[in-house]
Amino acid sequence: MLADAKEIKILLYGKSFPRNYRSRVLINFLQESRYCISQVYPDFYWTKTRLSIIFCWTELLIKAAFADVIYLLPKSGRFIKSALWVARIFNKKLVVEMHISLYDNYVKEHKSINADDKEAKAIMKHDILALTKSDYIIHSAKHELNYWEKLLGINIDQNKVFIAPNCNASTTLTLKRSFMEDGVLNICWWGTFIPLHGLDKILQAMKILKEKEVPFTCTLFGVDKPIFHTYAEKIHLEALEDRVFLRKDLNFPSGSLPMYLVDNCDLALGIFGDGDAACHALPNKLNEALSMGIPTLTMNAPALREFFNPETDFWTCEPSPESIAESILAIAGGTAYPVDWGQTRQKVLNTFSVTRYQEVVTKVLGKTTGNLLRRETLDGESEIFTTYPTNLNQVKQ
């Protein structure tokens, strides 16, 4: 335990997202490490009248005055202007944990905002401010930051960037089921049904497998939103109701979904989207599946190479229904290239760990106060945890 951690007062600003694992891990870590933390949650003050924002500003000003560090929580980029404002007023350091780009998410990927709209320009400005005006940036992957630089037309000061890979690996559960032990290939996928996932391609691939009389089932785990029912209708229209099943009763936060997967899953599917985000983001479900030792198939993409060797660490294919189906046929038939799933699991546990995330956060917080705090396990030689396939092969298993 850090003896002087309790001396640092941290103001967490933004939405804590109980279902967002990074926010959850961050808050738990800060509390357990005896940092003095407080939070301003802007949405708490939301009402139909804009006058309520005065109360939020009042709380923000009071707490920022006493804080040593202002920490903008993951997925809270829309609050960057007020965060920068109070940081400048009180001469405080501002740490931003991006997690997503608002512009990339809402304009490029979801297309819920037209690129020509004023709102699109406004959220682009939010991204630019967060990436260029903050004192420190914590993000999960260097590759994605490089993509955002090109997308937004900016240059990010690499001296303030700290890479903390996704820390959603399951360290306690491992696959129990033998591959196709009952003669049926049990395929599983989980997510929120966003375009990045390429779920329509998965359904078309399942249709091809059914036509080829492959013995399989495919269970899609989603969330209780209108789009869940949209896909229920699509499954019905494609006559896949006897092979493809939708469920919304299991999830990762409760631990119910991981427990199901280690008992029942033969093959986990990743993402197969067409957008730029699919090529430049590392999918959470990839780490989740591999950390449990579950054989996994995902689309081949440049973002994978920052942490993996896709030719040996798992199975990849092109993001098309035909390529997905062809790859699954090879997997079911035992002709896919060999993968040491135990070795891949250990690589994931070493790289995408809560410990590594905590080390990076600790180092950044130390820099913000002019007193570098260290854990015994923190590598003091590198300010940025950069991993490439060559580095990962040297990790002690």
Kindly report, residue by residue over 204-225, the tens digit of the pLDDT. 999 999 999 999 999 999 888 8
**Angle made by CA atoms 250, 253, 258, in degrees to the nearest 5:** 55
* Residue listed under structure tokens 């967490």: 12
- Terminal Cα distance for the chain, rounded: 26
Q: Which letter, b or e, does each residue of 310-331 get, where b requires 16 or more Cβ atoms within 10 Å of its Cβ?
A: beebbbbbebbbebbbbbbbeb
CA 124 vs. chain centroid, Å, equals 20
268, β-bridge pairs: 188, 296
In this predicted structure, what is the pLDDT of residue 177? 95
92 close to 69: Cβ distance less than 8 angstroms? yes
Sheet holding 244-247, edge to edge: 244-247, 216-221, 185-190, 267-269, 296-299, 315-317
In terms of CATH architecture, what is 185-348? 3-Layer(aba) Sandwich (3.40)
Mean per-residue pLDDT of the chain: 88
- pTM for the model: 0.85
Please tell me the distance from the alpha carbon of residue 364 to that of residue 192, in angstroms, as a whole number: 32
5-167+354-392 and 185-348, same CATH topology: yes
Q: Which residues pair with 267 in a beta bridge?
A: 187
Mean pLDDT of 16-37: 82
Count CB-CB contacts under 10 A for residue 63: 18
CATH number for 5-167+354-392 (one of 1.50.40.10, 3.40.50.720, 3.40.50.2000, 3.40.50.300): it is: 3.40.50.2000
Residue % of the chain over a pLDDT of 70: 89
Domain ranges of the chain: 5-167+354-392, 185-348
Residue from 238, 260, 240 nearest 251 by CA: 260
What's the chain's Rg over C-alpha atoms? 22
Per residue in 230-287, pLDDT (tens digit) is: 999 999 999 999 999 999 999 888 889 999 999 999 999 999 998 888 889 888 899 9
**pLDDT exceeds 80 at position 21:** no
